[in-house]
Amino acid sequence: MWTAINAAFGYESLLHLLPALIWLVFIISLDRALVSTMFGRGRRWGAFLMRLALAVMFGFIIAEPLTIRIFQTAIEEHIRDERTQEIADLQSRLLACNTKEVATGAVAPPAGCENYLLSFDQTPVAAEQQLVTLREEEAKLAETVRADNAELARLQDMQAKECAGTSGPGLTGLRGYGPECRDRGRDVEHFIATHPMQANNERLASLRAEIATLATQVAEAQATFEQTRDEQIAARVAEARSHQGPIGLLERMNALHELAGTSWALFLGTWAVRLFFVLADCLPVVVKFSGGTSEYDKIVRSQAAGSLRRHAQELEILRVEAEHHLNRHRADLDVELQEHRAELSRRRGAAVQRVSDQLLGPHR
């Protein structure tokens, strides 16, 4: 009981000695009752079966805390590993259930995340989406600027070659500022006039500056979001860890059962300890029953018979005394009745005498 109470509370204390001592007195009294004498054939079997069942039950009750104490090191290590794994699973679940997309409602939370969702005031998803849009626009505009620059460079190169008299595809090979050279120059001017290259370059530079600024903001928002999420996860983990508390008796029993299911050696060892204490607790009852009638039983039977005889004698004495008391009471009642009758007769004679005196007085 000392071991069981300490395991239930998770720590040892001298105050636990009080219930342990009460349990000690109870067990001693119960064991004295279990090995007491048994009378009669039918009552003997009934008493034996009842006491044997009690002995088996108390054997298991006594054996379980001691079994836990014997395998305490393995049990506590298993419980600590389970608690560590529970904390790790909780952290992983919180991280998986609280992504940026889930926090903003962009995607549905995964299955089983109902009790793991956190709340956030701000998330970087909107800024990230804006950044993606700007980068797509910047990529398209950069491609346009690159194509325009390439085309302008080609037209300028054709103009320079035509005016220089360079031979080649699409060129006359005539040097000088002739009609073809002027046409190539007009092509360049027309391309520049019809394509907003300057505006595109300015817009591209503006987009790149905006992208750089927004990327910094997104990085800061991402860091803030992750910090907030990590703080909330740390709070949930700390709360879960605080709920674990000291290792209790039920947790130790579950751990022992789990360990016994994974190791045949531990399974046999635990049951060997349990059966040892059960048999040790049942042994006095079995010995008492199988030993037949002992001198102690004879003495107890003789004392019981003597007690019955004394009780019968006491009842007989009480009956005689009651009869004597009743007879005396009857005699007293008879005397009182006679006295009452005599008094009535006297009073009747006196009354007759008074009436006679009243009637005969004048004549006298």
270-292 residue pLDDT tens: 888 888 888 887 777 777 777 66
- Return the minimum-mean-pLDDT range out of 26-40, 202-216, 223-237, 267-281: 26-40
Q: Which of 18-27, 49-58, 152-161 has the highest mean pLDDT?
A: 18-27
Separation between Cα atoms, residue 189 and residue 263, nearest integer Å? 90
80 inside domain: no
pLDDT at 39 over 60: no
The answer to whether residues 309 and 342 belong to one domain is yes
Tokens at 179, concatenated: 């009609």
Residues 6+ apart with CB under 8 A from 312: none
Tokens at 23, concatenated: 């349990």
pLDDT at 11 over 80: no
**pLDDT interval class at 125 (50, 70, 90):** low
Averaged confidence pLDDT in the chain? 80
pLDDT at 65 over 70: yes
The answer to whether residues 334 and 351 belong to one domain is yes
pLDDT at 257 over 80: yes
Tokens at 266, concatenated: 């531990």
216 inside domain: yes
Task: Please say whether the beta carbons of 173 and 166 come within 8 A.
Answer: yes
pLDDT at 102 over 70: no
- What pLDDT score was predicted for residue 9? 77
81-90, pLDDT tens digit by residue? 888 888 888 8
Instruction: Read off the amino acid at residue 200.
Output: N
Residues 6+ apart with CB under 8 A from 178: 172
The answer to whether residues 154 and 189 belong to one domain is yes
The answer to whether residues 221 and 253 belong to one domain is no
The answer to whether residues 234 and 269 belong to one domain is no
Last residue in a domain, options 232, 261, 290: 290
126-155, pLDDT tens digit by residue? 667 777 888 888 888 888 888 888 888 888
**pLDDT interval class at 22 (50, 70, 90):** very high
Instruction: Read off the amino acid at residue 314.
Output: E
- What pLDDT score was predicted for residue 42? 47
Last residue in a domain, options 234, 262, 290: 290
Among left, alpha and beta (phi > 0; psi -120 to 50; other), residue 93 is alpha
End-to-end Cα distance, the chain: 111
Tell which residue, 31, 34, 12, 13, has the closest CA to residue 23: 31
- What pLDDT score was predicted for residue 164? 76
Tell which residue, 38, 39, 301, 321, has the closest CA to residue 309: 301
Residues 6+ apart with CB under 8 A from 222: 100, 124, 128
11 inside domain: yes
95 inside domain: no
The answer to whether residues 320 and 265 belong to one domain is no
The answer to whether residues 131 and 217 belong to one domain is yes
The answer to whether residues 159 and 226 belong to one domain is yes
Separation between Cα atoms, residue 311 and residue 24, nearest integer Å? 36
Transcribe 284-351 into DSSP letters. HHHHHHHT-S-HHHHHHHHHHHHHHHHHHHHHHHHHHHHHHHHHHHHHHHHHHHHHHHHHHHHHHHHH
- Calculate the CA 215 to chain-centre distance: 45
Structural domains counted in the chain: 3
330-352, pLDDT tens digit by residue? 988 889 889 888 888 888 888 88
181: exposed, middle or buried (C-beta count within 10 Å: 0-12, 13-18, 19+)?
buried
Find where tokens 């048999």 sit.
Answer: 279
Average of pLDDT values for 191-200?
82
pLDDT at 111 over 70: yes
pLDDT at 36 over 80: no
pLDDT at 162 over 60: yes
Last residue in a domain, options 244, 260, 279: 244
pLDDT at 255 over 80: yes
The answer to whether residues 359 and 258 belong to one domain is no
- 11: DSSP letter: S
Tally of CA atoms within 13 A in the half-sphere of 215 that contains its CB = 9
113 inside domain: no
Task: Please say whether the beta carbons of 53 and 230 come within 8 A.
Answer: no
362 inside domain: yes
Rg of the Cα atoms in the chain: 56
118 φ, ψ to 5°?
-110, 165
13 φ, ψ to 5°?
-155, 150
The answer to whether residues 263 and 353 belong to one domain is no
Higher pLDDT residue, 363 or 163? 163
Q: How many CB atoms lie within 10 A of CB 356?
A: 10
Q: How many residues does the chain have?
A: 364
112 inside domain: no
The answer to whether residues 209 and 131 belong to one domain is yes
The answer to whether residues 140 and 240 belong to one domain is yes
Transcribe 134-195 into DSSP letters. HHHHHHHHHHHHHHHHHHHHHHHHHHHHHHHT--STT-----SS-HHHHHHHHHHHHHHHHS
98 inside domain: no
| Structural domain range at position 206 | 120-244
